[in-house]
A and B are shown apart, each in its own frame.
Chain A
């Protein structure tokens, strides 16, 4: 009797542990083929399997399993992978996440392999994205696609305000936005997304601000402060709305928000959702103060630190990053190719909209490559919100923020 009880008890335990062990994946070689797992995020993840099929045709000894992970859960999933040491072979990583995961040692150092894959050398990529390839002198990722912010504007409305061209300097920008704002009660001049953590930094960079590492973040520099005064003035003067909930495409179409900053993905969204706007809008490079810097974002491909199929993984990354594949990917997903060479192709060079992005890419910066940046940026968004929405004093808030940022990096 006693035995029976215990065996039942043990069966329960075993059943439970079997359930728990059911998570995880690996690379089993079936019929001599090597299998690599690729994690890709968002919309790209869903489409990447098409490229993977083409890759399999060329490399019959490799199988590629693509897992699409929604952006919302991607960060949690990566944390789990790091903790359980059970990750994919290849992972797509947003450039802002690189420092955090590189710092945890989750990404394989690709330096020894650069000789065999000349395509991976930093000089193939724009300066801003080459910055995101390295962490602590290790090469931890290869830029796959990039994005940068430009100015979207309504050509017809700006003409009415007396601008045949997009505003090219800060002063013109302010002037144009003010005039557009004065058209009526419920319209604005320029839309600034208050939840976008990189926009304030874009303003700061344009004003000559430099982030020079943990010991010199320069948040107390006059360049930074002046840029923030400019940034917040749009909200204080009512040129930019502080309320949320307006659909940007709809507002762009109605002329409520005739100008805004955004990335390449907006081109298709506007074309699809507001087709009757055709020929009434354009994009332009950022307005200039000291320089017309914009942000450099996008995603890299990295190899997980304990992958057993490094060679196969690199083959896959190398295939995806060929200029031809990148051009094909541009057709498929409308994301901008990271290879400089691709921008010589007529499709990018001669397209009235995309060529503007090509122009802007010559003047970009990546977000500061320290693992605390996410925290600092979130803290900064709260700080700026207190000024724009809560009417707090900018100088005091900046002082507070600078103190907090120092504490964050010292920990």
Chain B
């Protein structure tokens, strides 16, 4: 510390204001990321944690082992499965619900706003317990309802592909709330004059939706897409609390793979390497999204 920044009279105040955020970000995010990067080239395990002299540098060995690790391949495929199905669903549902809720302002609409937002702020453990009962093969509500119409029991969490879809349903239900709020805020920010102009031109509702509303939601959609994608690439909580990666490793995601390697088997070096590959994935996909984004139009 000392003379890293050159302060002059006029531009030092902003630094004071952002200092707390920058310090917290540095201590809790940036430094750990750098440390993890170095750890990924070592064989750090519990022995190494207890005594640093037991750590040795092994170069790219962790990475080369990961590339041949079947379970890691499986976790990548599962994660892509989650992302490809889950992300569009979250965006479509949260946009759809936001549009519906935007039609009125009566207290009924306010109540429903709360109803849709509730899952996002509910503790994941409580959610897991309730959904665990819903999905239970023997006593679950879903299978009970199916039995009323004479459909066989479905192993909601007992068959790899069905289990993945079950987790996606749960995560979509949980993920709608926050994105819906963002869309609602964006919808209310659209100037009324556009709608008035559209009305004068004799546009019907659908035309208004597709030619006015959705294009003007581009910023919000872009933001929601990026955050949801990153969130789903780090898909962890749902398989962790519901299935722990099973059955037949069918629901294990990259983040869960990293967690298991790191905290169940104490292979910190290996886990750090895995987390770096995930990090590279996320960076690449995010950059790709920025590239896709068309140049902004002013309105």
B46 at the interface (CB under 8 A from A): yes
Residues of B within 8 A of A20 (CB): 27
A389–B157 Cα distance when bound, in Å, is 13
A12 touches B19 (CB 8 A): yes
Residues of A within 8 A of B140 (CB): 245
Q: Which 9 A-B pairs have the closest CB atoms?
A: A104-B46, A83-B49, A245-B137, A104-B50, A245-B136, A246-B138, A104-B47, A375-B265, A82-B50
For residue A383, give the distance in angstroms from its CB to the closest CB of chain B. 11
A350 at the interface (CB under 8 A from B): no
For residue B124, give the distance in angstroms from its CB to the closest CB of chain A. 13
The main secondary structure of chain B at its interface with chain A is loop
A79–B138 Cα distance when bound, in Å, is 37
Contact indicator per residue, chain B 116-159, by CB within 8 Å of chain A (1) or not (0):
00000000000000000000111110000000000000010110
B51 at the interface (CB under 8 A from A): yes
For residue B119, give the distance in angstroms from its CB to the closest CB of chain A. 23
Residues of A within 8 A of B50 (CB): 82-83, 85, 104-106
For residue B252, give the distance in angstroms from its CB to the closest CB of chain A. 10
A16 touches B263 (CB 8 A): no
A103 touches B158 (CB 8 A): no
Contact indicator per residue, chain A 3-22, by CB within 8 Å of chain B (1) or not (0):
00100110011001000100
Number of interface residues of B (CB under 8 A): 31
A385–B246 Cα distance when bound, in Å, is 10
B263 touches A105 (CB 8 A): no
A104–B158 Cα distance when bound, in Å, is 37
A16 touches B47 (CB 8 A): no
Residues of B within 8 A of A8 (CB): 16, 19
Residues of B within 8 A of A76 (CB): 263
Residues of B within 8 A of A382 (CB): 248-249
Supposing A100-B46, A101-B46, A374-B265 touch, asked if A13 and B248 sit within 8 A by C-beta, the answer is no
A105 touches B51 (CB 8 A): yes
A100 touches B266 (CB 8 A): yes
For residue A397, give the distance in angstroms from its CB to the closest CB of chain B. 12
A242–B7 Cα distance when bound, in Å, is 69
B266 touches A79 (CB 8 A): yes
B247 touches A385 (CB 8 A): yes
A82 touches B248 (CB 8 A): no
A20 — nearest CB in chain B belongs to which residue?
Answer: B27
For residue A378, give the distance in angstroms from its CB to the closest CB of chain B. 7
Q: Interface of A with B (CB < 8 Å)?
A: 1-2, 5, 8-9, 12-13, 16, 20, 75-76, 79, 82-83, 85, 100-101, 103-106, 242-247, 374-375, 378, 382, 385-386, 389-390
Residues of A within 8 A of B248 (CB): 382, 385-386, 389-390
A9 touches B264 (CB 8 A): no
B23 at the interface (CB under 8 A from A): yes
B24 at the interface (CB under 8 A from A): yes
A389–B163 Cα distance when bound, in Å, is 14
Residues of B within 8 A of A9 (CB): 16, 19
A2 touches B7 (CB 8 A): yes
Residues of B within 8 A of A245 (CB): 136-140, 157-158
A79 touches B19 (CB 8 A): no
B158 — nearest CB in chain A belongs to which residue?
Answer: A243
A308–B161 Cα distance when bound, in Å, is 53
A103 touches B139 (CB 8 A): no
A85–B49 Cα distance when bound, in Å, is 9
B264 touches A75 (CB 8 A): yes
B71 — nearest CB in chain A belongs to which residue?
Answer: A382
B12 at the interface (CB under 8 A from A): yes
A5–B24 Cα distance when bound, in Å, is 18
B279 at the interface (CB under 8 A from A): no
B138 touches A16 (CB 8 A): no
A75–B23 Cα distance when bound, in Å, is 30
For residue B186, give the distance in angstroms from its CB to the closest CB of chain A. 34
27 A-B pairs, CB-CB below 8 angstroms? Answer: A1-B9, A1-B12, A5-B12, A5-B15, A8-B19, A9-B16, A12-B20, A13-B23, A16-B27, A76-B263, A79-B266, A83-B49, A101-B46, A104-B47, A104-B49, A105-B51, A242-B158, A244-B137, A244-B157, A244-B158, A245-B137, A245-B158, A246-B138, A246-B139, A247-B139, A382-B249, A385-B246
For residue A157, give the distance in angstroms from its CB to the closest CB of chain B. 20
Contact indicator per residue, chain B 19-32, by CB within 8 Å of chain A (1) or not (0):
11001100100000
Residues of B within 8 A of A375 (CB): 265
